[in-house]
Amino acid sequence: MPKLRKLIVFTGTILTYSGSKTPMKTMKSGVHLMPSAPAVFMSVVEFSAFESVPTEDDENGSSDATSNVDEDVDWGAAQKRNVRLVNVRKQASIIELLDMLDESFLGMCQHRRTVARCKDAARDLHEKATPGVMVVNEDWAEKFVISPARMLQSQYWAQISSSIFVSVLAWLDSARWHDRHVLAKGSWVTTVDGKALEVVEQSGEDVTVKSEPKPIKVKRCDLKSMLREGDEVTTTEGEYGRVSSQLGTRVKVIFENGVRERERSSLHHRFWVTKAFFGITNDRKQCVPER
């Protein structure tokens, strides 16, 4: 945008002349259009923009009523948040509008780059994690206000600040990674020779599967659980992929560089287990994380 601005306008002083018989020379300072630039850039346009304005409490100076409350309540920080967004109609030239967008986009682009890096790092961790690695995602909601459903007017100035803490833990199921988990009723497995069988039940290391004329028992170590479309897998060489389909012991896997077939025995099933934890405390000082 700065390069475009240099080609379109300049800031300085120009001389103007009146159209009378005795021309009057005047000085005019400010932003002017380059002689070679289209005049459309100085056209005035109307647009909507959001602006932060103080609420009525801030305008009326309500902070005086809180001077004697508990010091644990950070009223100053709360007062700073007493604003609301208002949709305002504005008028500006196109070049001024471009300047406004340029200023906004600077921070926005930095934010988008940061978000993109975080997503790439999270995806890399998700694809390369192995059993024993625990992924923790957490977030704080600080200075949440606890207020009773019904309260006296004077109680409004003694509301309690608190913090909410949410964390989500995720890890790979080691039993499924090594294909040693207990098989559920109705799940499908394959034998060493590629025959597909439906599980009736599992008791210890003995698995009962459907067969004609009657169910038979097979050792768990002689069976491989069948993978479904979309399942995440890791090869014995450490390559990440997603299952496309499975026929017998052959599995079609979508890798980053294309689709290839692999033996089921050479694949680890990436089955994620997640647990969420929620905490709340009225001690704001103890629940603010260290930066």
By DSSP bridging, strand 25-33 and strand 258-263 are unpaired
Question: Is the pLDDT reported for residue 184 higher than 90?
Answer: yes
**Lowest-confidence pick of 9-13, 22-26, 68-72, 110-114:** 68-72
Q: How far is CA 275 from CA 76, 166, 193, 238, 284, in A?
A: 37, 11, 38, 26, 25
What is the per-residue pLDDT for 252? 96
For position 206, what pLDDT does the model report? 94
Residue 1 has a pLDDT of 56
pLDDT of residue 288: 46
SS3 (DSSP) at 85: strand
- Higher pLDDT: 289 or 256? It is 256
pLDDT for residue 18: 55
Q: Options 3.30.70, 2.30.30, 2.40.128, 1.10.540; which CATH number does 180-225 get?
A: 2.30.30
Indicate the pTM of the whole model. 0.61
The average confidence (pLDDT) of the chain is: 79
Q: Tell whether the model's pLDDT for residue 170 goes beyond 50.
A: yes
Which whole-number Å values give the CA distances from 246 to 136, 231, 272, in the listed order?
A: 32, 11, 21
Q: What token pair was written down for 120?
A: 């790439």
What's residue 287's pLDDT? 45
Q: Which residue has the tokens 């600077």?
A: 106
Which tokens sit at 166? 């949410």
